[in-house]
């Protein structure tokens, strides 16, 4: 059992100001697996003060200094990659193979990508004789989720470090192991005192970060309702707010696509990480006359997946993260049945012998876009297959959602595929099974958030713009 009883503040591991403690539960066994100290406003104030003090010097460091720091972080991260994979698997139930092949590499990918961005970035430009320069934004607060912990920590911390910002990280209190290990990595890499700070905690810590007058920017990843609360709390101090929120991503499969391949790929992607991905393609749109075919293929995928303990090398899908999440998913599955969707695979129960928070990969066919399972973000391994008459209707159905994070399109005609992608109201579109690119811009439209992460666009979110008029000219009398 792990005991996370210290916070990393001003370059040292410090005891928390409060005695509040959260219990950690292993999602694969439902058994208590440790404890984490839960901070309060005093801990936040101490961390913010450290970050503010460090900003005056760190913001003036050279490009070379920051590149050297990032190189050291990468080197330590690589040495501790297996520890990180084990921590992620244990805390949120990811199969160990997925933790090794995706969770940990995603964090490393963001660190390496930001090195490339920083190395060649032009901070200054001349516009009509005016110097327009980009400078570090200031003290940043990061609230990160449990579902892709290293992806979300690294894609915030790496660009902030590269930009010259200082920061406070609050990982999810449900899955705090990886965040604590990341703080150890930062310490071992020699990050200057106060530049990176870690305060574990729950809503109380998040609220204190959002309202603190000396936090200049807050970046939040999580549910849309929680993101709204963060934005409201931050409004009084007019701080910059980044939000990477929920999604209900459509996956349009055209009649001329490689149909079986597209359906299989879409189903597997939906079920990956136990369906706990904000950009998962949870709404599959197929021609109405091929509904039965799509349902049969997706159901076969669901039946093939190996569900089991995360530590088992053969496991392809582990448990969901918590009992609360399990209850929510089961309620939404029941809503789908009650509202008339056709259940063709899965449901609330799994094979006997699995004691954790397991949900079988579930497929609904003949789903209407006004059903609850097509409107709400389930955040579990639940696929809704929706029929359409023609591409015009498919695009209309795809855009008929309050979310706009991601979308997917499969078609045998490249021009048609690209034309459809331009009509989709989403921040990201994957064409014909394409994978994400660390250099791309990650983020969404509508209630899926604002701002962008990853690559150059994510880096620029941590820069403030200054215009210097008369730069290089003699003084006016």
Q: Is 140 a catalytic residue?
A: no
Rounded (to 5) percent helix, strand, coil in the chain: 40, 20, 35
Place of tokens 């936040």: 44
Q: Report the 10 Å Cβ neighbour count for 223.
A: 15
- DSSP-assigned states of every residue in 202-271: SHHHHHHHHH-TT--EEEEES-HHHHHHHHHHHHTTT-EEEEE-----EEEE-TTS-HHHHHHHHHHHHH
Given the residues 244, 453, 460, 461, the one annotated as active site: 244
Query: What are the phi and psi torsion angles at 150 (to 5°)?
Result: -75, -35
- Helix (H) / strand (E) element for 110: namely helix 104-120
Which residue in 278, 406, 453, 460 is the catalytic one?
278
Q: What is the C-alpha separation between 244 and 428, in angstroms, rounded?
A: 13
SS3 state of residue 400: coil
Compute CA distances 232 → 30, 215, 218, 265, whole Å.
Answer: 35, 15, 12, 39
Q: Which residue, among 209, 262, 217, has the nearest Cα to 453 in the 3D structure?
A: 217
Q: Is 244 a catalytic residue?
A: yes
Ramachandran sector of residue 211 (left: φ over 0; alpha: ψ -120 to 50; beta: rest):
alpha
CA distance 91 to 141: 23
* Nearest C-alpha neighbor of 17 from the set 32, 31, 37, 33: 37
Q: Is 87 helix (H, G, I), strand (E, B) or coil?
A: helix
Cβ of 387: how many Cβ atoms within 10 Å? 20
What distance lies between CA 304 and its chain's CA centroid?
A: 27
Active-site positions?
244, 278
């Amino acid at each position: 059992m792990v005991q996370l009883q210290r916070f990393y503040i001003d370059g040292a591991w410090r005891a928390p100001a409060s005695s509040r403690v959260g219990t950690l539960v292993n999602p694969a066994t439902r058994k208590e697996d440790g404890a984490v100290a839960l901070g309060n406003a005093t801990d936040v104030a101490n961390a913010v003060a450290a970050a503010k003090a460090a900003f005056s010097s760190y913001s003036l460091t050279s490009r070379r200094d920051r590149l050297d720091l990032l190189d050291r972080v990468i080197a330590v991260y690589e040495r501790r990659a297996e520890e990180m994979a084990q921590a992620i698997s244990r805390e949120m139930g990811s199969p160990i193979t997925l933790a090794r092949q995706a969770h940990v590499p995603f964090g490393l990918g963001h660190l390496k990508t930001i090195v490339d961005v920083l190395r060649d970035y032009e901070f200054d430009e001349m516009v009509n004789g005016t110097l327009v320069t980009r400078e570090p934004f200031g003290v940043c607060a990061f609230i990160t989720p449990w579902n892709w912990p290293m992806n979300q920590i690294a894609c915030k911390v790496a660009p902030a470090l590269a930009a010259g910002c200082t920061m406070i990280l609050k990982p999810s209190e449900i899955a705090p192991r990886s965040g604590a290990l990341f703080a150890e990595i930062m310490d071992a890499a020699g990050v200057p005192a106060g530049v990176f700070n870690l305060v574990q905690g729950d809503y109380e810590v998040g609220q204190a970060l959002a309202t603190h007058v000396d936090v200049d920017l807050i970046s939040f990843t999580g549910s849309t309702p929680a993101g709204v609360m963060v934005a409201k709390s931050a409004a009084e101090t007019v701080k910059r707010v980044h939000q990477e929120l929920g999604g209900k991503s459509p996956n349009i499969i055209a009649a001329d696509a490689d149909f079986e391949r597209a359906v299989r790929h879409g189903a597997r992607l939906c079920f990956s990480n136990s369906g706990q991905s904000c950009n998962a393609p949870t709404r599959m749109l197929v021609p109405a006359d091929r509904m039965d075919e799509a349902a049969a293929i997706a159901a076969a995928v669901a039946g093939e997946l190996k569900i089991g303990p995360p530590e088992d090398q053969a496991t392809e899908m582990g448990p969901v993260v918590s009992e609360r999440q399990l209850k929510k998913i089961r309620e939404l599955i029941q809503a789908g049945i009650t509202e008339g969707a056709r259940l063709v695979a899965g449901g609330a129960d799994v094979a006997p012998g699995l004691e954790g928070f397991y949900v079988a990969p579930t497929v609904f066919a003949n789903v209407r876009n006004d059903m609850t399972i097509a409107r709400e973000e389930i955040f579990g391994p639940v696929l809704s297959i929706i029929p359409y008459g023609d591409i015009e209707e498919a695009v209309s159905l795809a855009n008929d959602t309050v979310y706009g994070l991601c979308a997917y399109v499969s078609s045998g005609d490249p021009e048609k595929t690209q034309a459809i992608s331009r009509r989709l109201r989403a921040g990201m579109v994957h064409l014909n099974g394409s994978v994400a690119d660390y250099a791309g811009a990650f983020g969404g439209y509508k209630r899926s958030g604002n701002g962008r992460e990853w690559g150059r666009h994510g880096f620029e979110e941590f820069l403030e713009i200054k215009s210097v008029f008369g730069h290089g000219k003699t003084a006016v009398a």
